[in-house]
Amino acid sequence: MFSLSIDQVKGGMTLAQPVYNLNGTKLLEKGNVLDERLIIRLKNSGAKRIWVTDDDNSFLKGLVPHKIFEETVKELETVQHLILEGKSFDIYIVNELAQELVEQIIFNEMPFAEMVRMKLTEKTVLEHMVDVALLSIMTAKALGMDKLDMRFVGLASLVHDVGKFLISDEILSKPTKLNEYEMRQVRKHPQIGFDILKNIDGMNKYALQVALQHHERLDGSGYPRGIKGKHISNYSLIVSIADIYTAIIREKLYRPRLPIYQAGELLWAQAGKQLNRDLTSMFLRHVVSFPLRSTVKLNNGAVGKVVYQNSQFPTRPIISIDGELIDLSESNTLFATEVLAYEYD
């Protein structure tokens, strides 16, 4: 179920709530399948937003983000081929991809956030880099970075794992635990990536930092160098949060994909130790968890609306249920399990 502005509503969608005019007269009953004639009638009656359902998610699949995602993966494929052939690639093309992602996210953030929340089924390194780019750009936006910095974050994310192109597929996609030798191979990818990128004409310095540092951790527990704190660039800290989140939530051999809440809690457990606390809080509140104004379901079956985000407990917002406020940070047993409905602007 989605709350959409009337301009986004398309024929074939089903009304999820009745629509009333300003005088309180019911214009259309819930369950009506909309066609062009009904949509025009609603517009003429002054309706601004309506609730619709879209059972097969065709609305979401038709939104711009999916196309942009696929196009970006396709463009990066060319970069991958060139690297595998030992050739140079044009960083300005990747820069343009980053620019396009930034423009689209500024213009259309909610659908991107929604797509990333639903999807994250990345199978390849390329898909992973695009997922991380989307999440990192959204984090940069939430931090109030300007367009240029958002683009640098995007560019750095889009190439952060190129070192993995040279690691054997057998190791990268091994479903069981890696042995010591295999682990050593994987841990080479930041340095390999850095070495590839530093030979590319016009390479951006932030992209170089992120390729080398995105597995470093604030407490020095990361790799390849085990550097700490302020020695890790801000861009690397942002990208590493998105990178870890995608790894946590992803489906594993021994369990299905984690729900948003659980993945968020696991990520939050690393905040202040391996990960920067403020950045992680920002990421959870504004990028992946329960967005303001969304309708969420609690584990006790109750349904409410998110009215406040708590920076200290970013996965536990304050929910309004029939006008009563429930602070999920004050309960150990009550939590939001899923988003039932989003509001799109």
> Residue 223 Cβ, how far from Fe ion at the closest point, in Å?
10
Nearest residue relative to Fe ion (C-beta): 161
Residue closer to Fe ion by CB (options 49, 188) is: 188
Q: Which of residues 188-207 bind Fe ion (CB under 5 A)?
A: none
Cα gap 193→166, rounded to integer Å: 9
Distance of CA 95 to the CA centre of its chain: 20
> Residue 93 Cβ, how far from Fe ion at the closest point, in Å?
22
Six-digit token string for 266: 């696991």
> Which residues are CB-contacts of 114 (< 8 A; sequence separation ≥ 6)?
60, 342
Residue closer to Fe ion by CB (options 114, 131) is: 131
Cα gap 115→93, rounded to integer Å: 24
> Residue 305 Cβ, how far from Fe ion at the closest point, in Å?
37
> Residue 190 Cβ, how far from Fe ion at the closest point, in Å?
6
Residue closer to Fe ion by CB (options 234, 329) is: 234
**Which range in 112-120, 153-161, 230-238, 316-324 contacts Fe ion by CB under 5 A?**
153-161
Number of residues located near Fe ion, criterion CB under 5 A: 1
Phi-psi region of 241 (alpha: psi -120 to 50; beta: other; left: phi over 0): alpha
Cβ atoms of 204 and 156 within 8 Å: the answer is: yes
Residue 327, strand partner residues: 318
Helix (H, G, I), strand (E, B) or coil at 311: coil
Regarding 127 and contact with Fe ion (CB under 5 A), the answer is no
Residue closer to Fe ion by CB (options 13, 279) is: 279
Q: Could you write out the DSSP letters of every residue in 150-202?
A: HHHHHHHHHTTTGGGGGS-HHHHT-SS---HHHHHHHTTHHHHHHHHHHTSTT
Residue closer to Fe ion by CB (options 38, 172) is: 172
**Which range in 158-166, 226-234, 253-261, 270-278 contacts Fe ion by CB under 5 A?**
158-166
Q: Which of residues 254-273 bind Fe ion (CB under 5 A)?
A: none
Q: What are phi and psi of 310, to 5 degrees?
A: -105, 115
CA 281, 282, 286, 292 dihedral sign is positive
Out of 54, 161, 216, 265, the residue judged to bind Fe ion by CB under 5 A: 161
**Which range in 83-91, 92-100, 159-167, 317-325 contacts Fe ion by CB under 5 A?**
159-167
Residue closer to Fe ion by CB (options 114, 161) is: 161
Based on DSSP, count helices (H) and strands (E) in the chain, helices before strands.
Answer: 14, 10
Residue position matching structure tokens 């959409």: 4
Residue closer to Fe ion by CB (options 161, 216) is: 161
Q: Which of residues 230-249 bind Fe ion (CB under 5 A)?
A: none
**Which range in 133-141, 160-168, 177-185, 227-235 contacts Fe ion by CB under 5 A?**
160-168
Cβ atoms of 284 and 267 within 8 Å: the answer is: yes
Residue closer to Fe ion by CB (options 54, 216) is: 216
Residue closer to Fe ion by CB (options 215, 316) is: 215
Cα gap 29→50, rounded to integer Å: 12
> Residue 163 Cβ, how far from Fe ion at the closest point, in Å?
7
**Which range in 66-74, 154-162, 178-186, 234-242 contacts Fe ion by CB under 5 A?**
154-162
> Residue 98 Cβ, how far from Fe ion at the closest point, in Å?
18
Six-digit token string for 90: 């044009």
Helix (H, G, I), strand (E, B) or coil at 30: coil
Q: In the complex, which residues of this chain contact Fe ion (CB under 5 A)?
A: 161
